[in-house]
Chain A
Amino acid sequence: MDHATLPIIIFILLFSGFIITMIMLTKRGKEVFLRPINGLKVIDDAIGRAAEEDRPIMFNLGFDDLSVNLFCSLAVMGYVVRKAAKLSMPVYVPLAQPLAYAMAEEFWKDGYAAMGKEGMFAVEDCLRYMSSNQSALGAGIAGWIKRDHVGANFMFGTYGFESMMLAEAGQQAGAFQIACTPSFYQVPFFMVSCDYTVFGEEFYAAGAYFNRDPVLTGSLVGQDYSKLVLLILIVLGSLLLTIFQKTDYLRLLLQW
């Protein structure tokens, strides 16, 4: 593993400072504006539509093993499971990673238990470890979507080429589809097949939209300040490098 260099340490500390400061400010009551993200706002609508049509819900966690991406997806999954449990709807969770299976099972059970619906659906019927092989995972989930006529298909997390298979299977089954991924190269596939696609840093903001917890909203604002600093540095650096390209020390500093 590569180790942090001094600039990286400085940036990490700076960004952490922004995020923690904004969390503290929002905890003290500072009002913050959250830009609405359509893909996240319609999650309730998707669950409601599936319930009206009496069709099951599927929540895909992608290929993430133990990582921050998995935690983000699990947080949203917990919300979807609780909403579905309220309406006595089953939530199917196909899994690609054994470690993710163990964690998802806890979140899934907890979601139903929170609504007093534990035992309503069997775990082995709803949570299924498919395969860590992309082809097998894609084929397995596509078959599951079509066989059970899934009404709402959520695809959160990191995906590879199987994204197209899942999204198209959902499209053919007529499911309401929402994709939310940090995998940049899968975004076009999701965009053409899903009703709503959320990507980039909005994936990490998903949790903040379901409960206006000051910690989550504050960290979002802190992220925005960090991006602002980077934007200024990029613009300033490009300008200075263009103007002073003959000055070796300045170029060295900018390259650093």
Chain B
Amino acid sequence: MSKRNILKIIAFVVGLYFFLEYILPEKVGGEFDSYEVGCPVTVERSGKKLQFYVGNYYKGRGIIGRMVKSSGKWVKDAKPCLQRSLFLKFDQYGLTEPDAVSAPEGLTLLYLGQNEKEPVLCYAVSEDDGQTFRKKGPVVISTNEVFKTFENAPNGQIPDRIKSFAADFRNGLWEVYLFTMTYRVWRAEGPDLKHLSLEAAPIVSSTLTEKSPNSFDVYSEGGQPVLVYVMDREILEFRRSGNDWESKSWKAPKGNGTNDTVYAGGRMDVGEGVLYLGTKKMQKGRPIDSPYETQLASVALRDRGDGTPLAPEMSVYKKVGASPRPTYLSYGTEWAGKFLTVVGSFAIFIAMINLMLFHGKKIYQSALNYNAPAGEDKLPGGGAPMRNFIKNAGYSAVFLIFLAVMIVCAWKGQTDEAKGTVWKTSFDFLFNAIQLPMGSAVFSMITFYMISAAYRSFKVRSLEAGFLMAAAIVCMVGQMPIGELLASLVPESWKLLQLPWLSGKLLSVLNAAAYRAVLIGTLIGSVAISLRIWLGLDNSVYSSVD
């Protein structure tokens, strides 16, 4: 078999792997929570202590995972228990703010479904203690107009949007408390989640705290609701006292797993205590957009009276820099990325050698010619040795000297201990005082290039050039203050003559349409060439083989 065919087979196998990795939906295995974990809630069912949390494999794509407490430790399930929908519109973009309730029909998980519009309160029911859930769709509350979006609000009604919620099932009735964007709390009640009736007035009509809470929960105490607001690590409990609400606050202990935020994550049987769950995000040394080091932890307040905390316990732990692995095959693509980085490093080495060879050769040849008599030198312009040497090899010498200095300074000056040393100072000086200003100077030169190019292209030699000229003038004048001034002289009904309007239309309609057309063509072109390379049909790629 020829070398070319072997390469084609390797390319096909690797391409197939990448293709499958791309087309597999993220539900097929993988670490669904590798980017971030949060919003934990807890519930007891069939004697088991369960914890549900939102895991993101990528920024803003929340799906829900489950943990079970076993032998004093929280054990995470390998697969998520509830995924976002590909087709159902109410939770296409992810799931947030879950709340778990143990109800007779099964363990019920309520959540806010993210979609292209407003979040929708939805629910799902499990018959196997939360290993898998069956989606039941949005929760239906009578007088739903209250929770329509602002844009769709009928005249005279004050709409609102759900920010968070808490649910419970007691005495054969569902109770749902809705915490809204305007800090009001509404209560809805009903025999099932498809037939809830909203009370005529909110139980809290204005904010009880100055700051918006980042977590909200409600539990019942003697038949009365106790509202739990959590702000970072401060926990506030509100009990009704006549027409007012009395508050009691605690600080969650700062410790293992609770440095960042504590969630009102439900109640669990820990003696007399109420359980709160916390998260901790470590961002130090974290590259932008890389996964957080996040952990979930449980914090129990043993006694509501004095708030004595139990020791926090850690439940999920993520490493800094762990790449998202949405499918089983993502391990391979991650490895391929690392492989490419290593190969790229070698390529940089080769490229640097090429540069050094080129400039070294120039210096060497110039040095050979240094004392050559006029007319006998190998390079043009012989006669004045130093002048010629500088002319032919000056730049090369400067380049090699700076390259060596930069490498040494970067090598010695990049450690923490090197701060303030001559290496670090020199490196910073070379970078900030020479490289950056020179880059800016080169960039600013483009203006002059543009002027000379514009001078040539704005000569109206043909009909097309005339259109180009006219469009350019409209766009330029339309963006300038004088365009606004001229537009103010034209009547409102004569929009076509108002240059800012015309310029906007040219850019946002004609230009955007053309851009999209080109983009579609470009993308289909790239699909075609990728396919040719993948299937080994395009021999031009392999022309240097054999």
Interface of A toward B, CB cutoff 8 Å: 1-6, 9, 12, 15-16, 19-20, 23, 66, 68-69, 71-72, 74-75, 78, 95, 97-99, 101-102, 106-107, 109-110, 123-125, 127-129, 133, 135-136, 138-139, 161, 164-165, 167-168, 171, 182, 184, 189, 191-193, 199-201, 203-205, 207, 213, 215-216, 219-220, 222-223, 226-227, 230, 252, 256
Contact = CB atoms under 8 A, between A and B. Distances in A.
A12 B352 CA distance: 40
A205 B344 contact: no
Nearest to B344: A99
Given A1-B22, A20-B531, A167-B453, 6 more contacts: A9-B23, A20-B535, A74-B540, A75-B538, A99-B344, A129-B351
5 contacts: A75-B538, A101-B347, A102-B347, A219-B537, A223-B521
B443 A23 contact: no
Given A138-B442, A165-B446, A184-B519, A223 B528 contact: yes
Contacts of A15: 524, 527-528
A64 B439 CA distance: 21
B425 interface: no
A25 to B, nearest CB: 14
A138 B441 CA distance: 12
B58 A2 contact: yes
Interface string B389-409: 000000000000000000000
Interface in B110-156: none
A135 B443 contact: yes
Given A4-B23, A135-B442, A200-B521, A192 B354 contact: no
B453 A68 contact: no
The A contact surface, by secondary structure, is helix
Interface stretch (B196-204, B297-305, B355-363): B355-363
Nearest to A130: B355
Contacts of A129: 351-352, 354-355
Contacts, number: 180
A216 B538 contact: yes
B contact residues, range: 35 or more
B438 interface: yes
Contact of B453 (A23, A123, A164): A164
A215 B532 CA distance: 8
**Residue from A66, A99, A213 whose CB has the most chain B CB atoms within 10 Å:** A99
**Top-5 shortest CB links A-B:** A204-B525, A201-B521, A129-B351, A98-B347, A201-B525
Interface of B: 22-26, 58, 86-87, 89, 324, 326-327, 333, 340, 343-344, 347-352, 354-355, 357-358, 361, 438-440, 442-443, 445-446, 449-450, 452-454, 456-457, 515, 518-522, 524-533, 535, 537-541, 543-544
Given A3-B327, A98-B348, A256 B520 contact: no
Given A68-B533, A135-B443, A184-B519, A6 B86 contact: yes
B23 A12 contact: yes
B354 A19 contact: no
Contact of A128 (B24, B355, B522): B355
B518 A200 contact: yes
Nearest to B324: A1
B63 to A, nearest CB: 13
A219 B532 contact: yes
A207 B539 CA distance: 10
A216 B456 CA distance: 37
Given A101-B351, A191-B457, A201-B521, A110 B544 contact: yes
